[in-house]
Structure 1
Amino acid sequence: MNYLPKPAGEGLRTRVFQIIFESDTLAAKAFDIALIGAILASVLVVMLESVAAFRDGHAALFYWIEWGFTIAFTLELAVRLYCLERPFQYLKSFYGIIDLVAILPTWLALVLPGAQSLVVVRLLRTLRIFRVLRLMEFVGEGRLLVDALKRSSHQIFLFLFTVFMLVTIFASLVYLIEPEEAGFTSIPTSIYWAVVTLTTVGYGDIVPVTPLGQAISVMVMLIGYSIIAVPTGVFSAEVIRSIRADRYSDEACPGCGHDRHEQRARYCLRCGTWLDEHSPDPRLSEQEQEAWRQAREGSDADDDEDETPPPAR
């Protein structure tokens, strides 16, 4: 859920809030960069610990480093909650849940051995780099892609359903044709082969051995090459449509009627007519602009009179 953090009060809490939750000052930027560096370092430690050569020689060192990061992140979360007006509301927000999940695996490892491997979820906390580097403006571009994906969801669903039907049909045929020794022991296994073949991945762990089965494999691969671009084309068309809707206006030019102007356009691309109905054309003389304003005021007054309800009888 969306949550706008607010400081709990004046004084120390407000100063801490400005450092932790804002990025306008040098101290706030330094804090965020240091936090992101610590997150990346902690994830690197977990990755190195999964390598047997490093784990066997430095198990104790990795253990204490991980606990050091966990305690530091726990204190950091406690400070965040300390300076907030509604701390529990923050814990239910997107970043609050990520902050909480980032420290739980190591604490859970005290009860469930092996849970510390889940600390790689700390990488999600690096999303704060959008705030540090002033990349929040790209969120709008991401929203455009999400909207395009939603609008094309029906076409993509129909495409995936068609692919699933084709995969099931070809898998059933190959299951009937191929012997079990070739690996086609069941229809679900054959569906796995059909998906791998249709997507042209070709693992090669299950391969038809009969001429008819190989012919079906050729058909599946050719169909895969033919239809793999369908969802990409549908999604791309919706993205282009969204870009045009955001960039262009549907209002027609009063001079020639052309209706494909950019949102910020002031003059018609074809005839050069002034498009802004709320301000006079700057190319007019001062007398003409004053006459335009008077005519505009008179038109607004007439509209107000038309909207005035008739007197009650």
Structure 2
Amino acid sequence: MRKRLFEIVEHSSENDKVSKVYDIFMMVIIFISLIPLAFKKDYNILLIIDKVAAGIFIVDYIIRWFTADMKLKKGKLSFVLYPFSIMAIIDFISILPSITVLNAGFKTLRLCRMIRTFRVFRIAKTVRYSKNIQIISNVLKKSKDSLVTVGSLAVCYIMIAALVIFNVEPDSFETLFDAIYWATVSLTTVGYGDIYPVTDAGRIITMLSSFVGIAIVALPAGIITAGYMSEIEEK
């Protein structure tokens, strides 16, 4: 029985219809469980949705813990290690706000509402149930070195651009953090316009920064797209 439970919740195969149904069911429940986050007031129907979804997640968590030795393959030690695995932590965080009960009159009510926002972590559970998301996850793992290199290049660019603009136009940027914020916005070509240079030298640096930013921002997209197409071909 434990083996069958493990196959249903953790090991979806092409011919296992029950496992596929379970995957689809869990994805539907995950998205339904996020509905209460779209409302400020706690309507009765929303509370019911939250409690039912939390109950289903608790059962799912217990089953996975119950079959942890088949997943981790470390014998009885698996039952101790499983709660500290990444996905188990995400599961626990997604459940915790729903079982947290505080009196509405307590001063900690705001803390309770803040904790409730952790339910958005439920969306991360869809990684288990979507093959397309698993493909993207594999692409990110295989392209990790390239993405880290591009990320390091972006950080270096931001720091250099920030230092340059901070010294070229100190009147427009009161602190180095303001310059870093400007450099980040320029890198992403967002351009909020709340902080900007006013001198000719500063504007020239901004134009150069925007061109460099376009090139750096395009690199991760190209790397991920190439990796995705390669992964699709392998599949």
TM-score by length of 1: 0.55
Unmatched segments (≥5 aa) in structure 2: 70-77, 103-107, 231-235
CA apart distance, 1:44: 2.3
* Other-structure match for 2:112: 113
Structure-to-structure mapping, 1:83-232, within 5 angstroms: 83-85=67-69, 86-108=78-100, 110=102, 112-114=111-113, 115-130=115-130, 133=131, 136=134, 140-150=138-148, 153=149, 157=152, 160-176=155-171, 184-197=173-186, 199-207=188-196, 213-231=198-216
Write the distance in 1 (CA, Å) between the matches of 2:163 and 2:203.
Answer: 16
Q: 1:152-183 deviations in whole A, cap 9, x for unaligned?
A: x2x7635632441232231233224x5xxxxx
Contact kept? 2:7, 2:19, Cα under 8 Å: yes
Write the distance in 2 (CA, Å) between the matches of 1:41 and 1:240.
Answer: 30
Asked which structure has the greater CA Rg, the reply is 1
Contact kept? 1:198, 1:221, Cα under 8 Å: no
* Other-structure match for 1:270: none
Amino acid in the other structure paired with 2:5: V
Distance 1:30 1:161, change over 3 A: same
Write the distance in 2 (CA, Å) between the matches of 1:144 and 1:230.
Answer: 22
1:16 and 2:12 equivalent?
no
Distance 1:162 1:119, change over 3 A: closer
Contact kept? 2:186, 2:213, Cα under 8 Å: no
TM-score by length of 2: 0.71
Contact kept? 1:42, 1:69, Cα under 8 Å: yes
The alignment's C-alpha RMSD in Å is 3.5
Aligned length: 211
* Other-structure match for 1:30: 21
* Other-structure match for 1:3: none
What percent of counterpart residues are identical?
22
Q: 1:79-111 deviations in whole A, cap 9, x for unaligned?
A: 322344333332222322222222112223547
Contact kept? 1:174, 1:190, Cα under 8 Å: no
CA apart distance, 1:197: 4.6
Write the distance in 2 (CA, Å) between the matches of 1:158 and 1:138.
Answer: 23
Q: Which runs of 4+ in 1 moved over 6 A?
A: 233-242
Q: 1:247-281 deviations in whole A, cap 9, x for unaligned?
A: xxxxxxxxxxxxxxxxxxxxxxxxxxxxxxxxxxx
* Other-structure match for 1:62: 46
CA apart distance, 1:27: 0.8
Which structure carries more helix by proportion?
2
Distance 1:157 1:101, change over 3 A: same
Contact kept? 1:175, 1:187, Cα under 8 Å: no
CA apart distance, 1:69: 1.4
